[in-house]
Structure 1
Amino acid sequence: MRNILLACSIAALAAGAVQAAEVKVQWQEPEKFTDIRPANDSRKAYRERVMKKFDGFFTEMAAKLPEGYSWQVTVTDIDLAGDIDYFAGGAGNALRIVKDIYSPAIKFSHVLRDKHGEEVISNEEKLRDMGFMHSLRSVGDNEEFRYEKQMLSSWFDKELLPKVEQYALALPKVSTN
């Protein structure tokens, strides 16, 4: 019975992966981004962790796109929620202090192509969530970069997905007769 459940789980994951669009994320000079500074980590290690996490955010969003689509994203700037306070931690331990005035922002360009390679959407996005401290979230939500993820997910669901749906509806229907 356990093997059958495992096989079904693997099949479901494989089917989900087939439904996802391919995403390629490029990072344009991340060492020059507005705020990708660590509190108590090396700059390089922290920057790599941020990039890996954001790669995951874009991959999660791409999973909602139609099968066969490809999405190219070039991130040109990030301003993480909060700001580093080098005195708040005491004894040389800096802290990232998150307040309303330190809102998250991201700039990126992107091109979405359908399964035939035709351009569906191409744009440069400049997102900033000034109300990030006022959005509802669950009590146990302590995910790293959750404010940035919420900002990106909200943009994706409200802006990009509806355009993809409109594009799909506008395509000529192919008859199978």
Structure 2
Amino acid sequence: MKPSPLFRLLLVACVVLASIVARAATPPPDNVNVHYKDPQNFTEAKRDVGVHLIDPAAYLKPFQAYIAQRASRILAPGQRLDIEVTDVDRAGEYEPWRGPRFNDVRIIKDIYPPRIDLDFTLYGADGKVLREGSRKLRDPAFLNHNMAGDQDSLRYEKSLIDLWLRRGTGKL
């Protein structure tokens, strides 16, 4: 007997819900510490005023968890990484000249790339500093990456983090 379309839809919904719950239940890694330095002074926070007012926790908290999860994957056993994000400017911009119907629409163009500034310290298993520095993460070609179907509102910022971490601990 062939399953009904409703049954298949329910099955897909259950799988999607299970993956969301599993992702939310993932505890933060204990070998990566990510924090924000004065998030109220971030470029993004200064832009979000009036009709564009966005609760910073709406994107900063999930972004913090994402950075920690991704960074923990590149660390060797015993290593620890501290990351202090000092500025975030998300991809896109509001263009008020488009009219009131576009007040809450972030326009994504190559002239509005994502930018993330951060400081980091990588510690070895013995607690000694292996590497530290500041990075200004930029990707002027951010629209050229294949992100078809990705509806995550932080996809461009997450891609910046992935590009940085992909280099490995030796080239952070």
Instruction: Give me the whole-angstrom Cα distance separating, in 2, the residues matched to 1:63 and 1:108.
Output: 17
Is there any run of 5+ residues in structure 1 with no aligned partner, and where?
1-15, 165-177
How many angstroms does 1:161 deviate by?
Answer: 3.3
CA gap of 1:92–1:148, structure 2 versus 1, over 3 A, is closer
Aligned-pair Cα RMSD in Å: 2.7
The answer to whether the 8 A contact 1:100-1:133 is kept is: yes
How many angstroms does 1:98 deviate by?
Answer: 0.4
Question: 27, 36, 60: which one pairs with 2:36?
Answer: 27
User: Which digits, 9 at most, give the CA deviation of each residue in 1:38-73, with x for residues without a partner?
Assistant: 486644x2x112211221221122231122221111
TM-score normalised by structure 2 residue count: 0.72
3-state secondary structure, aligned to 2:160: helix
**What is aligned with 2:157?**
148
Is there any run of 5+ residues in structure 2 with no aligned partner, and where?
1-25
Question: Are 1:132 and 2:123 counterparts?
Answer: no
Instruction: Give me the whole-angstrom Cα distance separating, in 2, the residues matched to 1:89 and 1:154.
Output: 36
CA gap of 1:53–1:122, structure 2 versus 1, over 3 A, is same
Instruction: Give me the whole-angstrom Cα distance separating, in 2, the residues matched to 1:74 and 1:85.
Output: 30
Instruction: Give me the whole-angstrom Cα distance separating, in 1, the residues matched to 2:171 and 2:89.
Output: 26
The answer to whether the 8 A contact 2:32-2:80 is kept is: yes
Instruction: Give me the whole-angstrom Cα distance separating, in 1, the residues matched to 2:81 and 2:99.
Output: 41
CA gap of 1:52–1:89, structure 2 versus 1, over 3 A, is farther
TM-score normalised by structure 1 residue count: 0.70
Instruction: Give me the whole-angstrom Cα distance separating, in 2, the residues matched to 1:102 and 1:41.
Output: 16
Instruction: Give me the whole-angstrom Cα distance separating, in 1, the residues matched to 2:99 and 2:77.
Output: 47
Runs (4+) of structure 1 exceeding 3 A deviation are: 36-43, 86-89, 160-164
Question: 49, 63, 69: which one pairs with 2:58?
Answer: 49
How many angstroms does 1:35 deviate by?
Answer: 2.1
